[in-house]
Amino acid sequence: MRFEPTELTEVELALQREVREFLAAELPRGSSTPGLGMNAGRDPAFSRRLAQRGWVGMALPRRYGGGDRSAVERFVVVEELLRWGAPVGHHWVADRQTGPVINRFGTEAQKERFLPPICRGELSFSIGMSEPDSGSDLASVQTRATRVEGGWLLGGTKIWTSGAHVNDWFIVLCRTSDEPDRHQGLSQLLVDLRSKGLRVNPIRFLDGTEHFNEVVLSDVFVPDDLVLGEVGQGWAQNTSELAHERGGPTAGCPRTWSWSSSCESARARRWTRARRRCWAMRPRAGGACASCRSRWRGRSTAGRRPARSRRW
């Protein structure tokens, strides 16, 4: 596989200048404590101001309040926010992965309910994957949802749940049936962090501050309309969510990217003081969004996994 660098377009460079001017006016140097991504400060008002400029939910569909912008445009904005250390903690997870996952797997009712407030910078999400005995081996999760009339009763414990003490919702990976292959029988549920039977126990740092949490679920009722995607398809859906989480500042092309999708987004690979160059990855199979397709350079074979990225 070969990649050729392409320069940012005039439109993208203008967007970069606009974001820098906005941040210089909103957050003058020394006026706030810099942070990084989901560990940055939490400022719901700042998140809403970003959203008013169309910089939250940028690549989500316009009909749900998103911007239908390209992955490169989203990268430009997120890169500047990270460079400035902006307080993006309130909307970070929802914008990076929850919104794209709901857009890909959610019902129409779920999209209409959750995506507009995400795009307005109003709704915050945590991640409900890790458990005391299930970290990188997520197929071993023990949190279980049992079917009851009208929905599910959810029981178990999640841990290292960033922001659960202040966020609104989280997507819980849980077991809904016992199967010979432990990667099967998993599902994802949308759970309100203020639900009856849910308890959040902060895990405090040495200085007394809170970020991580233990979330204990004791017969939490989750209605059927909050099952995300298909029952039993949680492993595939969760892998797609991780692709957004681990995919770098762009977190993939939110409209299309999962491990099995047809389009893998443009991502930044290298930059210098003088200029920044965006690289684009060829698709694993045919078809892609126009914004990514227009940037491809090089060759690959359909069906072949893209080559491993170089270290930055």
User: pLDDT at residue 212 above 90?
Assistant: yes
**Among 26-40, 85-99, 139-153, 257-271, which stretch is predicted with the lowest mean pLDDT?**
257-271
**Which H or E element spans position 204?**
strand 198-204
- Phi, psi for 72 (deg, rounded to 5): -65, -40
Q: What percent of the chain has pLDDT over 70?
A: 79
Question: What tokens appear for 286 in the block?
Answer: 């045919």
User: pLDDT at residue 132 above 90?
Assistant: yes
> What is the residue extent of each domain of the chain?
6-123+251-293, 125-238
**Among 27-41, 166-180, 251-265, which stretch is predicted with the lowest mean pLDDT?**
251-265
**Which H or E element spans position 71?**
helix 71-84
**Among 18-22, 35-39, 57-61, 166-170, which stretch is predicted with the lowest mean pLDDT?**
35-39
Helix (H, G, I), strand (E, B) or coil at 47: helix
56 vs 65: CA distance, rounded Å = 9
Nearest to 189 by CA among 226, 135, 149: 226
Q: How many CB atoms lie within 10 A of CB 238?
A: 25
- Tokens 């849910």 — which residue? 198
Helix (H, G, I), strand (E, B) or coil at 42: strand
**Among 26-35, 72-81, 290-299, which stretch is predicted with the lowest mean pLDDT?**
290-299
Known catalytic residue: 245?
Answer: yes
Question: What tokens appear for 278 in the block?
Answer: 């965006």
125-238 homologous superfamily = Butyryl-CoA Dehydrogenase, subunit A, domain 2 (2.40.110.10)
pLDDT computed for residue 38 by the predictor: 79
Q: What percent of the chain has pLDDT over 90?
A: 69
Question: What tokens appear for 36 in the block?
Answer: 């990084």
pLDDT, mean of residues 210-227: 97
Q: What is the mean pLDDT of the chain?
A: 83
Give the Å distances, CA to CA, from 57 to 68, 265, 268. Answer: 9, 16, 19
Nearest to 164 by CA among 197, 134, 130, 194: 194
Buried b (16+ CB within 10 A) or exposed e, 217-231: beebebeeebbbbeb
Task: Examine domains 6-123+251-293 and 125-238 and report if their fold is the same.
Answer: no
Residue 196 pLDDT level (bands cut at 50, 70, 90): very high
6-123+251-293 homologous superfamily = Acyl-CoA dehydrogenase/oxidase, N-terminal domain (1.10.540.10)
CB 139, CB 175: distance < 8 Å? no
CB 251, CB 245: distance < 8 Å? yes
User: pLDDT at residue 130 above 50?
Assistant: yes
Residue 245 pLDDT level (bands cut at 50, 70, 90): confident
- With a threshold of 0.95, does the pTM exceed it? no
Question: What tokens appear for 253 in the block?
Answer: 């092309």
Residue 36 pLDDT level (bands cut at 50, 70, 90): confident
19 vs 25: CA distance, rounded Å = 10
CB 88, CB 40: distance < 8 Å? yes
Higher pLDDT: 112 or 310? It is 112
Which residue type, as a one-letter code, is found at position 47? S
pLDDT computed for residue 308 by the predictor: 41
Higher pLDDT: 31 or 251? It is 31
Catalytic residue among 73, 241, 245, 264: 245
Q: Which residues pair with 128 in a beta bridge?
A: 172
Higher pLDDT: 291 or 311? It is 291
Nearest to 282 by CA among 267, 172, 87: 267
Higher pLDDT: 252 or 2? It is 2
Which residue type, as a one-letter code, is found at position 102? I
